[in-house]
Amino acid sequence: MGEHTTPTFPQEIIDEYAALGVDLPALFSAGHLGERMGVTIVEASADRVVGTMPVEGNTQPYGLLHGGASAVLAETLGSIGSMLHGGATKLAVGVDLNCTHHRGVRNGLVTGVATPVHRGRSTATYEIVITDEHDKRVCTARLTCLLRDAPAPAAG
């Protein structure tokens, strides 16, 4: 559906996860739901996560971008930011998502930009603004993630 590119991560973040045996760019270049919906991560850091998604294939019966598709893009971007904020010792688990849909989109590509509202020890909240190809705001979302301790790596 959408062309996948390798996301851009700060090198120190890539190195942190590589030390744990995790190929961070590969982890976020696809994903089952994101892949089906054509989500592409363009840039990723705890300060800003950018991703795109095609409208085609993600519409509701009236031919408009489905609100649930916007929610998937928003939760994906906010979760990545939360996970990067928490670091390799934390898992980011979404606990609250709200989306306000401002206008309909019938075609093209939408872009989401997630920026932090709050980054604490146990929670992280991101605002995600989704715009169309004309830079018109389509959706404003807010995601809060709980930051849980990651399981210890298996010995071996």
What is the SS3 string spanning 104-132?
A: CCCCCEEEEEEEEEEECCCEEEEEEEEEC
Number of neighbours of residue 118 by Cβ within 10 angstroms: 11
Q: Is 75 a catalytic residue?
A: yes
Q: Which of 43, 75, 127, 133 is catalytic?
A: 75
Could you tell me which residues are beta bridge partners of residue 115? Answer: 127
Backbone angles phi and psi of 12, in degrees to 5: -65, -30
Sequence-ordered list of residues with C-beta below 8 angstroms from that of 91, at least 6 positions apart, any chain: 83, 147, 148, 149, 150
Question: Do residues 54 and 109 touch, judged by C-beta distance below 8 A?
Answer: yes
| Residue numbers annotated as active site | 75
